[in-house]
Amino acid sequence: MGVKERLWGREQAERTFRDEPRADLTPHPSRAILFKLPPFKTNEEFVRVIKEAEAKNINPERLKLIKHEVVTYPNKGTDCTKSHMAAEDHAAAKKVGKTGVMVQEALMLTCAHPKDKGVGVNVGYSHRYYPEQRDPMFLEKATSVLDSVEFADL
């Protein structure tokens, strides 16, 4: 997998937030994505860069952001953030006969690769559901996946 030559473009963000229509409501991890990071000096600046890029790349015609929290995540030995996003999906593929807005929720880990701070690594776990069908164990499952991430050499 090569490093993307653009900073967190819409294509990467949409894949991360599972913007594809699908009727399956089960939680699923998304792909790990490598992308080019701009230079940053502090962990606080890194958090700001990631939050701004995530917010900028949400498709406002399709998704209405309900929640977007980005915090530093020191557990991986490099600069990392943990993002929790939830959005109403106004163009979701739905089960036959179902009406109403679906929700997309994602927990994402974004880190500067420990061997090259110019390479960003993003791993996410997401779930689409009708508001009354939210998985109460979503955050626990997602955190378990993100905590299992290990870095390989580039």
Tell me the residue range of the domain where 132 lies: 10-18+28-147
* Mean pLDDT in residue range 6-23: 39
Residue 50: its pLDDT value, please?
A: 96
Residue 22: its pLDDT value, please?
A: 42
Give me the number of domains the chain comprises. Answer: 1
33 falls within a domain: yes
Residue 69: its pLDDT value, please?
A: 97
Coil, strand or helix at 133? helix
Measured between alpha carbons, how far is 58 from 49 in angstroms, rounded to an integer?
15
Q: Which of these, 135, 108, 140, lies nearest to 124 by C-alpha position?
A: 108
122 falls within a domain: yes
Residue 103 has pLDDT above 60, yes or no: yes
CB 36 within 8 A of CB 125: no
Residue 26: its pLDDT value, please?
A: 52
- Please state the pTM of the whole predicted model: 0.78
